[in-house]
């Protein structure tokens, strides 16, 4: 794994020869946040970043990765450059150039603005992305429960809470995003990592409505997306059955 500190040494050299030293001033971190959480850039699927609420564990925790730099008072522009370089020069399994051009700068500016920084977003960052799953809880009616995938392509459902009465239920997942998702159910309270027993799953679809019929008992279940990385990125919630 490439750690941030040796890289910073390399960046000082780069700055000296005038190729990578200056952080762009036009970057839009709010757009970077959207991209970070999107299924195009997929950063959230592989990385923990508290600000984004992401829980991916394929790559290093980005708050930890930049905690030392932050503590030593490094400028945000330096962290931004580390992230820019990482996106360009990534090693497998992180694909190179997941985002490029202005989008790459936006993502780097977002990570630089938030990694290892406690506290809540303010200003534009706060309104950039609805918190994943912040929609109204889904409630079962007459044996039907509908939990939609985020229409904007965020790795999330529109809600992370659902309620149903025990018995046979058809769970529907409308997905208008164009990104492949499904909805699976397992026993136990909503969590980013598997804990319980799977009781059913819809097919994976990128547009339309996927369905699965299950018989629910009183208790809590996790609903989650089985496309690799999506659950870790935050695409899960809790179904309470009474």
Q: Does 79 bind ligand HEC (CB under 6 A)?
A: no
Point out which span in 81-89, 141-149, 167-175, 216-224 binds ligand HEC (CB under 6 A): 81-89
User: In the bound complex, what is the minimum distance in angstroms from residue 117's beta carbon to ligand HEC?
Assistant: 14
Using the minimum distance from each CB to ligand HEC, give the nearer residue, 95 or 208.
95
Q: Does 93 bind ligand HEC (CB under 6 A)?
A: yes
Q: Does 59 bind ligand HEC (CB under 6 A)?
A: yes
Look at residues 128, 34, 102 and name the one whose alpha carbon lies nearest to residue 43: 34
Single out the residue of 27, 37, 45, 48 in contact with ligand HEC (rule: CB under 6 A): 45
Q: Does 94 bind ligand HEC (CB under 6 A)?
A: yes
Single out the residue of 43, 113, 162, 164 in contact with ligand HEC (rule: CB under 6 A): 43
User: In the bound complex, what is the minimum distance in angstroms from residue 80's beta carbon to ligand HEC?
Assistant: 10
Q: DSSP states of the chain as a string?
A: ---HHHHHHHHHHHHHTTSS-SPPS---HHHHHHHHTBTTT-HHHH-EEGGGTEE--SS--HHHHHHHHHHTT--HHHHHHHHHHHHHH--TTS-TTSS-HHHHHHHHHHHHHHTT--S---HHHHHHSPPTTBSPPEE-BTTEEE-PBPTT-BSSBSBSEEEE-SEEEEEEEEE-SSS-B--EEEESS--SS--S-EEEEPPPBSSEEEEEEEEE-SEEEEEE--STTTTTTT-EEEEEE-
Q: Does 227 bind ligand HEC (CB under 6 A)?
A: no
Using the minimum distance from each CB to ligand HEC, give the nearer residue, 42 or 202.
42
Point out which span in 69-77, 94-102, 146-154, 195-203 binds ligand HEC (CB under 6 A): 94-102
Neighbours of 11 (CB within 10 A): 19
Q: Does 99 bind ligand HEC (CB under 6 A)?
A: yes
Backbone angles phi, psi at 36, to 5 degrees: -55, -40
Q: Does 52 bind ligand HEC (CB under 6 A)?
A: no
Q: Does 47 bind ligand HEC (CB under 6 A)?
A: yes
* CB-CB contact of 112 with 76 (8 Å): yes
Single out the residue of 23, 46, 148, 164 in contact with ligand HEC (rule: CB under 6 A): 46
Q: Does 37 bind ligand HEC (CB under 6 A)?
A: no
Site residues (vs ligand HEC, CB under 6 A): 1-4, 41-43, 45-47, 58-60, 62, 65, 83, 86-87, 90-91, 93-94, 98-99, 107, 111
């Amino acid at each position: 794994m490439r750690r941030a500190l040796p890289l910073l040494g390399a960046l000082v050299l780069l700055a000296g020869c005038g190729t990578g030293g200056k952080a762009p001033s036009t970057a839009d971190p709010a757009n970077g946040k959207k991209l970070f959480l999107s299924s195009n850039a997929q950063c959230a699927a592989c990385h923990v970043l508290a600000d984004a609420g992401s829980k991916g564990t394929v790559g290093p925790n980005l708050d930890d990765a930049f905690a030392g730099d932050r503590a030593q008072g490094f400028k945000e522009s330096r962290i931004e450059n580390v992230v820019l370089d990482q996106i360009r020069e990534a090693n497998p399994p992180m694909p190179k150039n997941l985002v490029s051009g202005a989008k790459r700068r936006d993502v780097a500016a977002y990570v630089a603005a938030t990694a290892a920084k406690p506290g809540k977003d303010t200003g534009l960052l706060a309104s950039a992305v609805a918190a994943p799953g912040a929609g109204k809880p889904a409630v079962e009616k007459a044996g039907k429960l509908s939990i939609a995938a985020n229409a904007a392509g965020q790795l999330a459902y529109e809600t992370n809470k659902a309620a149903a009465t025990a018995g046979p239920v058809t769970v529907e997942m409308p997905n208008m995003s164009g990104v492949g998702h499904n909805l699976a159910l397992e026993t136990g309270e909503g969590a980013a990592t598997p804990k319980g027993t799977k009781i059913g799953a819809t097919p994976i679809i990128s547009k339309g409505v996927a369905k699965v019929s299950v018989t629910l008992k009183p208790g809590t279940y996790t609903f989650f997306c089985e496309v690799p990385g999506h659950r870790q990125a935050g695409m899960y919630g809790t179904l309470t059955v009474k």
